Structure 1
Amino acid sequence: MELRHLRYFAVLADELHFGRAAERLAISQPPLSVAIRQLEDSVGARLFERNSKQVRLTPAGQALRASARKLLRQAEEAALEAREVAAGSAGRLRIGFVGAMLYRGLPQALAAFQASHPAVRISLAELNSAEQITDLLHDRLDLGFMHTARLPAELSARLLLSEPFVACLPADHALARKRRVAPATLREEAFVLFSRAASPDYHERILAICAQAGFLPEVRHEVRHWLAVVSMVAQGLGVALVPQAMQRCGLQGAVFRSLQGVTALSEAYAVWRPGPHNVLVDGLLHAVRQARPAEAVGAGLRGGAGQRHDSLQ
């Protein structure tokens, strides 16, 4: 049974006249008759009673008519959805993100994208970088926003922004009165640190900042989310080095100060698995670039392992 057979059947069921049905279908009568016989053979029942004077539906034909129309509508809707997805006006985006992206313009980008693509369904999952990489490799995500560019060869990345690290201090801390903080002055402090398991890159980068200042931090607490880092600092449980974006989290009790003599940058990447062109991913990346905070600097392309430079152009 082919959709062509069902379409011919539906028109003939409406017209109950081979000549008029053939005219509507823009074909001659013989191909229409052949198609109806093929459909009847496929169904295993006669669908029309026909003689020299009239054509009418059999009970089997009457039963098939409603189902045929439903199937044809579904086929039309499926074709329309495919065209809309190809054009980027419909479809689904599965997005993973690290918590810091909430303060780097991602919510604003999603709102702008959704306003211009109301038929696109977006699902979000807050995941650390390692979890996102796994889900991208297993086709459970279409796009990830993460901290690392150390990726398997199957993935590609775009550097979205780079920003400084800043010192995060309890509001009543003695150093909170200063405009800039030298990392060495934090030597005796208890640190709240981003978990190595959640993001090895950030964990190692923060340790490297401290090592450059001549000390290894006393890591009192390890957590998996930047908001948890700031929250613990706000409650007086230690100090931390965090991406500048976390200044926008609005938690009372924590203050942020520039770091003196530190060149290390916090980076955010968009990561995807190369494959068929996905205009939705491309459109969302454009929205993120437009919405990124003014303080962020730097943008470019980086491939995954092996330094591939796959873009979504």
Structure 2
Amino acid sequence: MYTLDQVRCFVAVAEELHFGRAAERLSMTQPPLSRQVQKLERAVGVALLDRDNRHVELTSAGTVFLAEARRLLTAADAAPALARRIAAGRAGVLRLGFTAATGFSLLGTLMQTISEVMPAVDLDLQELVTIEQIEAIRRGELDLALGRPPFDDELFDSRLLLSEDLVLVVPESHPLATSYAVRAADLRDLPIIGHHPTKARYFYDMVVRYVDLSHADVVHVVSQILTMCSLVGAGRGVAFVPESARLLGLPGVRFLELADVPHGVVELHAIWDRTSKNPALHQLLHHLRSDQD
């Protein structure tokens, strides 16, 4: 096995093509320099230099090895600084989960923040529903989730990132489309595009809590907000969605306030494992706390 000192000695000789000048460059004498290069050649198993009393030349193997040796030394020189950046949370990898709805509301802003605060951190993005994100954090496959309640407060810590209204989306040709706000009574006998009771449990429970719907009213059950709004635009029914769905800019739909539902009931949380040791995660959380204080 060869050492970095041996590699540095070889690179100096290879670049100077003169042992005396290389020794002076490295602030050492020529005999130990020659021994270091010889040890390197024995470790590599081939001659890297052709030399005699008058000249020094690289062998074919030495030419190839020189390029790799330079890369090795560059990486070795950068490693301590990289380790310090990782320890400080300014480098490394942050595995971030998000729901489809988050993708058109908060995700872009958060990614911009991460790019500005921690430009050397690599982002690994995974689109998952909240329950899948929670399980991924539990298995150690995600560092941070952008999801909805509920979650186990003993295992996971969280921070509220966004509160928004629950609204009703209707086809633009619907009789209610000219209204500013509607009440639950206005929805009687209307076809409803409902939320999946397990894959979209958060919205399913919320709608059931505030609106009395009979099963006969639900004509489709889906799990994604984009799919809901698209079905509404196709005239298949009306649906309950977070207000940020307006950002989708889908044609053929109108968003109406729900007069019977309190404002800000739809919550989006940053969720993470309380025991996480990822410095990049803690650097981001520190920034989020500072930004909201």
TM-score, with normalisation over the residues of structure 1?
0.71
Equivalent position of 2:224 in the other structure: 225
Q: Which consecutive residues of structure 2, in runs of 5 or more, have no partner in the other structure? A: none
Cα distance in 2 for partners of 1:202, 1:78 equals 51
- Percent identity, aligned pairs only, is 31
Secondary structure of the 1:278 match is: helix
Structure 2 residue corresponding to 1:67, chosen from 55, 65, 68: 65
CA contact (8 A) 2:192 2:237 kept: yes
Asked if 1:278 corresponds to 2:291, the answer is no
* Map 1:251-266 → 2, pairs under 5 A: 251-263=250-262, 265-266=265-266
Cα distance in 2 for partners of 1:170, 1:29 equals 85
Cα distance in 2 for partners of 1:248, 1:16 equals 65
* Map 1:154-165 → 2, pairs under 5 A: 155-165=156-166
Cα distance in 2 for partners of 1:103, 1:56 equals 63
* Number of aligned positions between the proteins: 284
Q: Which consecutive residues of structure 1, in runs of 5 or more, have no partner in the other structure? A: 291-298, 301-313
Cα distance in 1 for partners of 2:123, 2:102 equals 16
Equivalent position of 2:193 in the other structure: 192
1:44 to partner: Cα distance:
3.5
Secondary structure of the 2:11 match is: helix
Secondary structure of the 2:197 match is: coil
- Cα deviation, 1:18-68, whole Å, max 9, x if unaligned, reads 4432221233445434423432332345555667x4463574xx5134323
Secondary structure of the 1:35 match is: helix
- Cα deviation, 1:191-226, whole Å, max 9, x if unaligned, reads 212223323222212212225xxx555332111210
* Map 1:29-40 → 2, pairs under 5 A: 29=30, 31-40=32-41
* Map 1:49-64 → 2, pairs under 5 A: 53-54=53-54, 56-57=56-57, 59=59, 62-64=60-62
1:113 to partner: Cα distance:
5.9
CA contact (8 A) 1:10 1:65 kept: no
Cα distance in 2 for partners of 1:82, 1:139 equals 26
Cα distance in 1 for partners of 2:230, 2:81 equals 47
Equivalent position of 1:133 in the other structure: 134
Equivalent position of 1:42 in the other structure: 43
Secondary structure of the 1:150 match is: coil
* Map 1:160-175 → 2, pairs under 5 A: 160-175=161-176
Cα distance in 2 for partners of 1:139, 1:5 equals 40
1:75 to partner: Cα distance:
4.5
1:172 to partner: Cα distance:
3.5
Equivalent position of 1:99 in the other structure: 100
TM-score, with normalisation over the residues of structure 2?
0.75
CA contact (8 A) 1:147 1:199 kept: no
The alignment's C-alpha RMSD in Å is 3.9
CA contact (8 A) 1:93 1:281 kept: no
